């Protein structure tokens, strides 16, 4: 069982570079989301999707784009990386739209220099 797979696990970017964090799930879950985790800040919701073709903003969406062309994939794009985006990023998925447990990927540790 693969569950939720995130790639890459580690990434170093220079300020101004763009990149895409990949997230894929094989559980046919409708709901997917992206969080960033910073020390003392908990997990903050960036963007989420309730199904293919549908996305919406979370608490901290600025500087990030998402799309959901398939049920399985939910990539997160950093348009122009900034040092403030140095963080650990987690992708999560769940069945349905709210009353079921979320399964998290292993995380991507991103450093922007």
Residue numbers at the binding site for another protein (CB under 8 A): 31, 33, 35, 40-45, 48, 50, 56, 58-59, 90, 92, 97-107
- 31 vs 74, beta carbon nearer another protein: 31
- 28 vs 42, beta carbon nearer another protein: 42
Smallest distance, another protein to C-beta of residue 107, A:
5
Q: CA 64 to CA 85: how far, in whole Å?
A: 10
Please return the burial class of 83, using the count of CB atoms within 10 Å of its CB with bins 0-12, 13-18 and 19+.
exposed
Pairing of strands 10-13, 19-25: unpaired
Q: Are 72 and 86 in contact (CB under 8 A)?
A: no
Smallest distance, another protein to C-beta of residue 14, A:
26
- 15 vs 41, beta carbon nearer another protein: 41
């Amino acid at each position: 069982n693969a569950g939720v797979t995130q790639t890459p696990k580690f990434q170093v970017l220079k300020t101004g570079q763009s990149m895409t964090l990949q997230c894929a799930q094989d559980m046919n879950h409708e709901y997917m989301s992206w969080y960033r985790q910073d020390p003392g800040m908990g997990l903050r919701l960036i963007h989420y999707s309730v199904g293919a073709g549908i996305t919406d903003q979370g608490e901290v969406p600025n500087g990030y784009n998402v799309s959901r062309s398939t049920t399985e994939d939910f990539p997160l794009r950093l348009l122009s990386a900034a040092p403030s985006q140095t963080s650990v990023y987690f992708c999560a998925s769940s069945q349905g739209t709210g009353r079921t447990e979320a399964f998290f990927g292993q995380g991507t540790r991103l450093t922007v220099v």
